[in-house]
Amino acid sequence: MAGEIDRDTLSVPPDGRPLSEQPAWRQDFPIDWPQDHYVERRDFVKFLTLTSLAFTVGQFWIAGQNWLRKRQGLPEMRRIAGVNEVAVGATVVFDYPAMHDSCILVRLSDAEFVAYSQKCTHLSCAVIPRPDQGVIHCPCHEGFFDLRTGRQVSGPPPRPLPRITLEIRDDVIYATGVEIRTI
């Protein structure tokens, strides 16, 4: 009994004419479930090819980005603050390397300074250092980074905070570069 009915083309268009005489959109938006779910081999192969092509192009894109970044060289050295201007446990917010790249400098002890980008690696919220707890806190999704290393401790952040390399010359703290870490 099931063989008598062509189950793939059950629905009849309102004008009752066969599918070959219908406008092309009817084949793209069929009412019958089996036709709606049918994927042609050609479409599937097209999907596979284009997707793998996109992945390949993405790899070249990442390589190109890396090459461009290396070619730019180190960013310019910039003065952050004098050593005496920062008390132990205090924080200084500064922009490095560009105008709107907020960074934080924390004085851990008399001789120890750390500086990180203020942009959380999860969704770019501004992170807040908590020197008393030894962590950097991102309030958006309760992400925590270790204050000494900048590595993620808990929460959603996928990567450590970019570290700003520092240099102290004649009691003045300078930012000398950005160290982006992936793990």
The least CB distance from residue 28 to other proteins, in Å, is: 9
The least CB distance from residue 4 to other proteins, in Å, is: 9
Instruction: Enumerate residues 20-49 that contact other proteins by CB under 8 A.
Output: 29, 31-34, 36
HSE-CB of 63 using CA atoms within 13 angstroms: 6
**Closer residue to other proteins in complex, CB, 38/67:** 38
| Distance in angstroms (rounded) separating the CA atoms of residues 103 and 174 | 13
According to DSSP, the β-strands at 152-154 and 143-146 are antiparallel
**Closer residue to other proteins in complex, CB, 15/110:** 15
Q: What is the residue whose two structure tokens read 């160290």?
A: 179
**Interface stretch with other proteins, choices 9-17, 61-69, 87-95, 107-115 (CB under 8 A):** 9-17
Instruction: Enumerate residues 60-119 that contact other proteins by CB under 8 A.
Output: none
Residue whose C-alpha is closest to residue 157's, from 171, 136, 143, 169: 143
The least CB distance from residue 166 to other proteins, in Å, is: 52
Whether the CB-CB separation of 136 and 117 falls below 8 Å is answered with no
SS3 88: coil
Binding site for other proteins (CB under 8 A): 1-2, 5, 7-8, 10-14, 29, 31-34, 36
